[in-house]
Structure 1
Amino acid sequence: MVEIHRAARLRSLLAAAAVLAVAACVPVQPVEPAPPRADVTGVEIGDRTPARGGDLVMALSAEPDRLDPTTSSSLYTRYVMNAVCEKLYDIDAKGAIVPQLASALPTVSADGLTVTIPVRRGPVFADGTPLDAAAVVTTLQRNLTLEGSSRRAELGPIAEVTARDPETVEVRYETPFSPLTAALADRAGMIMSPKALAEEGEDFGDHPVCVGPFSFVERVPQTSITVRRDPLYYAADQVHLDTITYRIMTDANIRAANLRSGDVQVADSLSPQDVDALAKEDGVGLLQTGSFGYQAITFNVGNVDGTGKPPGPIDTPVAKDPRVREAFALSIDRAALVNSVFNNWYETACSFIAPGTTYSSPASDACPPHDPARAKQLLQEAGVPVPYRITLSTSNNADSLRLAQAIQASVVEGGFEVVIQPVEYSTLLDVQKRGDFEVLQLGWSGRVDPHGNSSSFLSTGAANNYSGYSNPEVDALLKQAAQSNDVATRADLYGKVTEIVQRENPILYLYRVRSITGYTDDVAGVETYDDGVVRLSRAAFL
């Protein structure tokens, strides 16, 4: 009976939060498991004849950060860079790693210390510079040495990178590092023009030059980014559009309205509040797929000088006492949040590994209980005032604010008072890097290998360790996992990391989105995969 009353009270609180977050009342549905939803990863051109040319407009839900593969951390930057900067490897619709600028998958020496990457022959950069092994080495060295690089940890303990010949790159490691290929299927593998790097230096992101179906044209801050078809691209006959304009539209309602009107032909990150109605619209189609990533709450436990720097002490109960963070975790009912805020379109998350994927295990799938009574007990044991007040920084878009207000309501019963601090998305990225927050809600779009979802966020001093977390046992487990090529061994090690993280809660994993992308029915060739990236390089008008 007590649990029934708790559930009813939480639903009432969440309903109130939803009303505060939007102009119209959002009904709270009964808490039920999310229905199974079939992935729709692309709309094929098939036997239809694509039009030659045309200017496609995509509504982009947030302002990308700098268009620099070495330093960027925004999912929305990946959308644009996917059209401009090809990688050594990519993933396909099923999540398998496939060659892109490499001509084949790497080969690894018997001792695991030498990785050989064959480079595709023929491509040239948008400035006419030929792609070769030396250009690949230049990019990888920049990723390893540039101050502020977000790619360094993704590449592992590299001892040396050399061009063995014009078509062969050799990477030598201090210790084996199995996630390299997966890292090179994302920004770490985007190869930049050595000529442009020499000319632009740290300003490369203002005028990025790579090998890609499109080349960068211009950026109007807070408004749009435009790219145009690159005639030098090695597969130019497969590129149909003349230009793509990524127009910044942070309001999900505005994105949906522009999609309905045809003013944009593609729109990313559609709100679950709009999806059911859009699915019934004539002239509009929807792609949807799961995610390797997660949405989470990050507690600042030691980020005093910015990411990549040694952690320091923060003299607050939430930073120094894991009992306070555990109490917050126990106060949250993930299923109720997903159900009420996102109309059951999203899925709960309790670790950095998506259930049912290659490296998932019972330990990584396990979810801490919702237990507000125990939460209050922990706060009392920690000797903090109840309600304990914390400030939650979050993006200022409607869905994020709706979530924040639902969390605010949810944790009251566990003894917390949450003050919401809305921040513009690109500014929030800087806030989390600098450590200028107490508690922060943001997500990670995910990588095919769990190393990309864990090590950079949890290893001491890593580039994306926004919490300033440091645990030698976690460091050792993550290092062991990266050195192993055995799936079962790695899954077990990541499960052990999950158990520690769920005790100490530097990161509190909440849910996984379904990437919901809308398109008008006069375009095809649009794709989105579990890495969260909307792909337009082969899109066309019909």
Structure 2
Amino acid sequence: MSPLLPRRGSRTARVALAATAVAVASALTLTACSGSDSSDRGGDDATVRVGLVLEPTSLDIRTQSGAALDQVLIDNVYQGLVGRTADGEIRDVLASGHEVSADGKTYTFTLREGTTFQDGKPVTAADVVWSLQQAKDNTSYVDSAKLAGVTSITSPSEGVVELQLAQPDSDLLFSLTGRAGLVLEQAAKNDLSDSANGTGPYEVSSWKQGDSLTFSRNDDYWGTEPKVAKIVFRYITDPSTAVNAMANGDLDVLNPVDGTLASQLQGNQDITLHRGKTTDKYTLAFNDARAPFTDKRVRQAIRQAIDPKALIKAIGGTGVEQGGPIPELDPGYQDLTSIDAYDPDNAKRLLAEAGQSDLDLTLTYANVYPATIGDVLKSQLAEVGITLKVERVDFATWLDQVFKKKDFQLSMVDHVEARDFGNWANPDYYFGYDNPEVQRLYAESIAATSQTEKEQALREAARIVSEDAAGEWLYTATEITAVRKGVTGFPVDGGNSRLDLAGLAVR
């Protein structure tokens, strides 16, 4: 995968955040290609070393945006009333059960007994009410807008929390599985930027910025005790360095493995490669509010100039065509790949009609994404007469220039978060896409009280966005995860955005 997704002010989104440095530090070796014996390395005292790309710039789960925090902190350190399963279903966590009224406007949660924060204090209904109210009222908090439709958050009786809505919100439970629903201790005084006091199975024990983040087992965890003592997340941005670390036994898990380098790990009897599904949408964003992208013909021409199959092949085959803004794993998906399919001859015609037969454009994207992507796009657009200048910048520059200031023509980023179609219904988002019909349909999908109605509205809206050529969806990533022999319980689907490591173990 790749970089993080920044905060959208009161309307948040996720885009992958970039790790800031390459680190190859020594750590406890579980198993190694050099032949170290794993028999005395497993069991409850094991340390698992996990290679990742996305490093947080702060641990503040409330205000610091970016997929790097969601990836490791949610489920493992912080939890909410509800969580999500690997296939996106809702499961009760700090709540022992929940009910939704027939009109979809009242959500009642019964708190699980015996849950505690990592400082030993019990989780109370007051903590839950305070946490959700803070998330709703502070628009600077990531995902605050996802609670905008909640009119009251109360505890009508001991151990019960109730949310009232002005109108139904079909996404509310799913939103509560993310940052908007995390439960923090009201009385805690710790600095959230470099420490955490959650309710999960692991505690943050150390953070060496630019190097690694270490979790230790929460021995007082209210749920099933974790099966490993420590997890060390090592942030390695260079794909070759990461693969070498895995091959040499310096890592026990690598997520993801660069598709062009996967062959270096194949045939290693100590390593298994798993191919998993994701909601990672590698999106070529147009600045729709700025010329020449205000002309639909230009947008269509760019889409038709791009051959996704060739791009996917160039990155090692780790992707599938998408064709529209909703990936296969999300509600409302439909196959839209026939819309503005690869047709360079027609792309030239559209550019000529738009008076843009000799167009110069700049593509700006974070340098944690492969240079191959920019190279392929530059070559393909050149075939239809578009000269593309590629600027790869560090993530902080991308965040300031592209995301915040919207000073760009084309950009490319991996939008990792599930169910984030709402970005296309938000005219203030950095895409600059403003379509009232899409906004109406998205609002209709949120207010729907049946899944059928919800998905129908999303399908209609997604088709409009694709037919309007609001952007180009290069591919949905498939991720390769390398797992060393003896390591079990590591998620291989959706790991770029969420890693629930409660079941991680070493035999």
Aligned partner (choices 120, 128, 142) of residue 128 of structure 1: 120
Quick one: which amino acid aligns to residue 87 of structure 1? G
Which residue in the other structure is 2:328 paired with? Answer: 355
Check whether the contact 1:239–1:537 (CA below 8 A) recurs between aligned residues: yes
2:420 is aligned, of 441, 445, 453, to 453
1:77 to 52, 61, 69: 69
CA distance in 1, matches of 2:352, 2:344: 12
Instruction: Summarize the Cα distance change of 1:381–1:365 in structure 2 as closer, same or farther, 3 Å threshold.
Output: closer
Contact between 1:390 and 1:438, CA under 8 Å: does it hold in 2? yes
Q: 1:145 Cα shift?
A: 2.3
Name the counterpart of 2:83: 90
Query: After superposition, where does 1:58-457 map in structure 2 within 5 Å?
Result: 58-82=50-74, 83-104=76-97, 106-196=98-188, 199=189, 204-235=192-223, 238-302=225-289, 314=290, 316-318=291-293, 320-339=294-313, 341-355=314-328, 358-361=331-334, 366-384=338-356, 386-397=357-368, 400-425=370-395, 427-434=397-404, 435-447=406-418, 452-457=419-424
Equivalent residue, structure 1, for 2:14: none
Question: Cα 1:103–1:138, aligned 2, differ >3 Å: closer, same or farther?
Answer: same
Distance 1:378 1:150 in 2: 40
Q: 2:486 aligns with which of 503, 522, 526?
A: 522
Instruction: Map Cα deviations across residues 308-328 of structure 1 (whole Å, 9 max, x no partner).
Output: xxxxxx4x323x333222221
Report what 1:6 is aligned to.
none
1:436-462: CA deviation from partner (whole Å, max 9, x where unpaired): 432211112232xxxx3211443233x
> 1:70-112, CA deviations, whole angstroms, 9 ceiling, x for partnerless residues?
33442222222032112332332343222222212x3222222
Q: Is the 8 A contact 1:60 1:246 kept in 2?
A: yes
Judge conservation of contact 1:240–1:539 (CA < 8 Å) in 2. Answer: yes
Q: What TM-score, normalized to structure 1?
A: 0.80
- TM-superposed CA distance for 1:267, in Å, is 1.2
AA aligned to 2:376 is: A
Tell me, in whole angstroms, the C-alpha distance in 2 between the residues paired with 1:115 and 1:404.
Answer: 46
Q: What is the alpha-carbon distance in structure 2 between the residues aligned to residue 354 and residue 373 of structure 1?
A: 28
Structure-2 change in CA distance of 1:541 and 1:169 (3 Å): same
Q: Distance in 2 between matches of 1:426 and 1:238?
A: 38
| 1:430–1:81 Cα change, 3 Å | farther
- TM-superposed CA distance for 1:373, in Å, is 2.3
Q: Which amino acid aligns with 1:507?
A: G
Per-residue CA deviations over 1:303-360 (Å, capped at 9, x if unaligned) read xxxxxxxxxxx4x323x33322222111111122112x23333101112323376533
Residue 412 of structure 1 aligns to which amino acid in structure 2? A
Question: What one-letter code is carried by the residue in structure 1 that aligns with 2:282?
Answer: Q
- The answer to whether the Cα contact below 8 Å between 1:298 and 1:507 also exists between their aligned partners in 2 is yes
Amino acid at match of 2:409: E
Does the Cα contact within 8 Å between 1:270 and 1:518 map onto a contact in 2? yes
Decide whether the 8 Å contact of 1:85 with 1:190 is kept in 2.
Answer: yes
Following superposition, the deviation at residue 208 of structure 1 comes to 2.5
Q: Is the 8 A contact 2:84 2:177 kept in 1?
A: yes
The CA RMSD over aligned residues, in Å, is 2.5
Question: Alpha carbons of 1:94 and 1:356: their partners in 2 closer, same or farther (altered >3 Å)?
Answer: closer
Separation (CA, whole Å) in 2 of partners of 1:103 and 1:403: 46
- Checking the alignment, whether the CA contact within 8 Å between 2:71 and 2:495 is kept in structure 1 is no
Residue type of the partner of 2:80? K
Which of the pair is proportionally richer in helix? 1
CA contact (8 A) 1:294 1:511 kept: yes
Determine if contact 1:286/1:516 at 8 Å carries over to the other structure: yes
Aligned-partner Cα distance in 1 for 2:502–2:424: 30
1:391 Cα offset (Å): 1.4
Whether the 8 Å contact between 1:391 and 1:421 is mirrored in structure 2 is: yes
Q: What is the distance in 2 between the residues matched to 1:432 and 1:132?
A: 42
Tell me the residue number matched to 2:505. Answer: 540
Preserved contact between residue 346 and residue 514 of structure 1 (Cα < 8 Å): yes
The separation in 2 between residues aligned to 1:372 and 1:173, in whole angstroms, is: 49
Match of 1:470 in 2: 434
TM-score by length of 2: 0.85
Does the 8 Å CA contact 2:132/2:182 hold for their aligned counterparts? no
Q: What secondary structure is seen at the aligned counterpart in 1 of 2:108?
A: strand
Identity of aligned residues (%): 25
Q: Aligned partner of 2:441: which letter?
A: L
Aligned to 2:24: none
